[in-house]
Amino acid sequence: MIEPHLQLEKNEQENQVRPVSLADFIGQKDLVENLRSFLKAASIRKEPLDHILLSGPPGLGKTTLARIVAQETGARFSQVTAPNIKRPGDLAKILSGLSTHDVLFIDEIHRLPVAAEELLYGAMEDRTIDIAVGDAVLANSVQITLPPFTLVGATTRPGDLTAPLRDRFGIKFHLEFYEEDDLIKIIERASKLWKIPAEKNATRAIARRARSTPRIALHLLRRVWDYALAESESLTKAVTEEAAKAAFERMHIDAEGMTKLDRQLLLTIANHYQGGPVGLKPLSSILAEDLATLEDFVEPYLVRRAFIRRTPRGRVLTKDAFQHLGLKPTGDVSLFDILR
């Protein structure tokens, strides 16, 4: 369990490097340009921005963008995670506490309970909610009118959203994985704010192993700095490429950003299933790893790196994966890749 003062310090460190305006936001160029136009138009009309749905893998900046929307409009920002909303009354209490032009951010919105989601329909469309007052047969329905507000929903699984909820978002953005050059800019900005001296080659080594994700890049920067401090015992010595690579070796992160769990997954498919196809459930059992972790954190990067392919029959390894593992391709997978 994380001690409260350590958790507070961690949050302060993250907030220190979190962009507070679109001008500071690095990457997602098309999204940022479109959002800037929508914000300007809403300001001219003197209306709240339309409801926004942000989708994409974890760590790409969905929460940061929601905060920026509030900052750019001068609105109050409220945040809640969908699994913490157990009953419709929980959501009704949050909605009834909103003020004019507030920004409400619901993370993991695909995990909203059905009853709470249905309550949200009226709030988004008509700015009204119906709540029951009283018990059993004596209960009455009371309609509450809400002030104009902007709902920002974030999801890592847009396919799990129901069509009625998805259709009520007027603005939909999908966040893409980051290019290496953008990650380098993010790392360099963070190193200045955190006062971490790092050489150019070191930041590039970190960016290459960050799995195209800013959150991972920032975490790796701090861990590399930890190792550099522990080895040099000097607060002024810069993080070199050699120091970074030594840190990655101790963390079992290879040049492609693959972790020990990534390699275990690939090796399991190669050795137990001759390269596949195989579903994630049996892999989850063999690795003793949560299925959601494999689906949301491990597999997306391996698919992006072309180490795994999704097929109707399951996951299969590509020839690139066998080469990376130093194994000889086997079965239909190697033939499929050779002929592609």
Contact 231, 200 (CB under 8 A): no
Question: Is 107 annotated as catalytic?
Answer: yes
What lies within 8 Å, CB to CB, of 155 at 6+ separation is: 53, 54, 55, 108, 109, 110, 161
Report how far residue 208's alpha carbon sits from residue 212's, in angstroms, rounded to the nearest whole number: 8
List, in order, residues 6 or more apart from 309 with CB less than 8 Å away: 303, 315, 316, 317, 318
| Nearest one of 94, 154, 158, 80 to 123, comparing CA atoms | 94
Q: Which residue out of 67, 204, 215, 319 is catalytically annotated?
A: 215
278 DSSP 8-state letter: B
In the residue annotation, 156 being an active-site residue is answered as yes
Instruction: Spot the catalytic one: 73, 150, 156, 240.
Output: 156
Q: Rounded CA gap, 103 and 51, in Å?
A: 9
Catalytic residue of the set 63, 203, 213, 318:
63
Pairing relationship of beta strands 52-55 and 77-81 according to DSSP bridges:
unpaired
Tokens of 317: 């390894």
Indicate if 62 belongs to the active site: yes
Please confirm whether the linkage preceding 300 is cis (ω < 30° from 0).
Answer: no
Q: Is residue 100 annotated as a catalytic residue, yes or no?
A: no
Cβ atoms 304, 179 nearer than 8 A: no
Residue 59 tokens, joined: 């760590």
Which one of the listed residues 64, 67, 102, 107 is annotated catalytic?
Answer: 107
Distance (Å, rounded) from C-alpha 96 to C-alpha 292?
33
Residue tagged active-site, from 62, 67, 204, 208:
62
Question: What does DSSP say about strands 128-133 and 140-145: parallel, antiparallel, or unpaired?
Answer: antiparallel
Give me the active site residues, please. Answer: 62-63, 107, 156, 215
